[in-house]
Structure 1
């Protein structure tokens, strides 16, 4: 009997990474999950997964900024899913060097390890923020790259490295570019958990930044399936290519707040907090995906609409044990 294939995941302790780990196990993989080293030996959200899932997960402490950590992680893996990144846009204004170290140099380390250890498939994670404010809609993968924050620039740098390694060395890399993923376990740095968390904590006046930008929100379980789709598709259909993952729908932050109020059966007032507003030239005003390339290559399509995903997210945050993990009364950057 052959053993299950090994899927290595960087950033496995995080929001999307933990959901991807669950999805990989459900699909029959063993998962080698890299968690950023910390002196608390915390495994992040992986600690909340059911025991029958964790039976198929090997957790390793490491850091994508360290070559040795990465090489140990990817050895003997059939597929590497590279999700580890610094992600908060406001913090990238304060600590841009950290974003380059993790999102650019860390990606370089993953590419080098995959190349030299001859791993059959690498799925590299991009972000819709690399497009900047939409110049044409919906946004296809051919849309110009316009990085309006240090975070976006660092992610675009990793994307360009991934492209160059495929062109230069034939590295079997595919890039997935998720639009705004949301759902259970997301941090309070994002708008949906910020609103739901404040309401669940008893606030009726919600503190936010700019209400005008529009986003294409994708439920996290659908994003996890998009990763699986590109990680398991035939090489000829995906390698060396970039794929958007989004719903094709958009909603403004203001309308989103009203929809969350409806789902939570609560009337909400909103006040603007100046510290939550991005610099004017850095704010991305409109993002909406064209995911037809991904659909054509793999058959992927989202299984949840926005209201369904919000209902699942509300259920998560209304659990007192989950809500207790968050600081709802402060601005989380």
Structure 2
């Protein structure tokens, strides 16, 4: 089968494309290579996908392009059996500065794909949504019945995109699923995320910087658990038309996370605190019981296990990855 992965040179999309190729599928990756962060990381993702294809029965093709181009998207989808839509303009804080760009890419781009997939009649459309759709918690952990009141333009754009996907599933009898990711981390992650910054700074003798008092909590989800949830949807149709949480086994205070990384890598360094950004969520924590019931999702990595794996990977790949993190 042929699988189209949009945003496939990015962090999650890159890992997802590799997994599909390794499993013997024919994968087409599209990415516009926007320099939101250093493009060398995306180039590594593309190179890794090609290397996996050389060692497996799958194939890998990279195409540079933008999901905002409707004609381009229609041509892309023409040969696809499944579409995994990971392309998006990321970043809660930057979305405050340019909300219209987030609408154009995250909402308009998703609609282009939905229209093309509906007209083509693909097997399934799986899109990346976000825990940012929830906004200020009325209770924790978030279940899918929790009100969706995003506090950032990024969160609003992801909510609009997933609602379009689920409405297409309803009115066009179209197989679409939205996965609400909770703070994904792991090898080749975006360099401006908390875990990568904490690890980089501690390894180099710099103090971790915490925004706010550090009492904010996050449900960090290791990349391998995210990939397993996506792969399940090649065969499982019970989630069609649904938005479901994909999170981890626990959550942790940002301050505690920084301290644990500091204690492991540079125990003599003091933490540094700076002003909190208004668009940042105060708490996130996923109730994943719906995902367990529908697609048998069972995350395997605690935050401490996942961070240990990331630190090990970081040390092995420090030569090429570290400068990109430290310059962010």
Would the TM-score normalized by the shorter structure come out above 0.5?
A: yes
Counterpart selection for 2:209 from 194, 207, 210? 207
Give the corresponding residue for 1:78: 81
* Residue 299 (structure 2) pairs with residue 305 (structure 1): no
| Structure 1 position 325, deviation (Å) | 4.7
| 1:32 corresponds to 2:28 | yes
**Residue 2 of structure 2, aligned match among 3, 6, 15:** 6
Distance change >3 Å, CA 94–CA 58, structure 1 → 2: same
Give the C-alpha shift of residue 324 in structure 1: 4.0
| Aligned-partner SS, 2:177 | strand
CA displacement at 1:149 relative to structure 2: 0.5
- From 231, 235, 240, the counterpart of 1:232: 235
Which one of the candidate residues 129, 136, 153 is aligned to 1:150?
A: 153
Partner of 2:187: 184
CA distance in 2, matches of 1:230, 1:204: 42
**Equivalent residue in structure 2 for 1:21, among 5, 9, 17:** 17
Q: How far off is 1:301 after superposition?
A: 1.1
* Correspondence 1:54-69 to 2 at 5 A: 54-55=53-54, 56-69=59-72
Q: Please give the root-mean-square deviation of Cα atoms over the aligned residues, in Å.
A: 2.1
Cα distance in structure 2, aligned partners of 1:245 and 1:254: 23
> Once the 2 structures are TM-superposed, how far is the Cα of residue 244 of structure 1 from its aligned partner?
0.6
Matched residue, 1:101 = 104
Corresponding residue for residue 140 of structure 2: 137
CA contact 2:198–2:208 (8 Å) conserved in 1: yes
289-298 or 22-31: bigger deviation: 22-31
Q: Is the 2:127–2:177 Cα contact (8 Å) retained in structure 1?
A: yes
Change (3 A) 1:219 1:327: closer
Corresponding residue for 2:169?
A: 166
Of 194, 197, 201 in structure 1, the residue corresponding to residue 197 of structure 2 is 194
Matched, 1:249 2:245: no
Between 1:10-19 and 1:47-56, the stretch displaced more is 47-56
Deviation at 1:78, TM superposition (A): 1.6
Task: Verify: 1:295 aligned to 2:292, yes or no.
Answer: yes
Give, in whole Å, the separation in 1 of the partners of 2:216 and 2:234: 32
Which of 301, 324, 327 is the aligned partner of 1:326? 324
- Unaligned runs of 5+ residues in structure 1 are none
Helix, strand or coil at the partner of 1:232: coil
Name the SS for the 1:314 alignment partner: helix
Gaps of 5+ in 2: none
Determine helix, strand or coil for the equivalent of 2:215: coil
In 2 relative to 1, CA 60–309 (structure 1 residues): closer, same or farther, beyond 3 Å? same
State how far apart, in whole Å, the 2-side matches of 1:208 and 1:273 are.
Answer: 6
Distance 1:165 1:48, change over 3 A: same
Cα offset, 1:227, TM superposition: 1.1
**2: CA distance, partners of 1:61 / 1:321:** 27
Deviations 1:237-269, CA, capped at 9 Å, x for gaps:
111111111124110100011121244363442
TM-score under structure 2 normalisation?
0.91
Mean alpha-carbon deviation: is it higher for 81-90 or for 309-318? 309-318
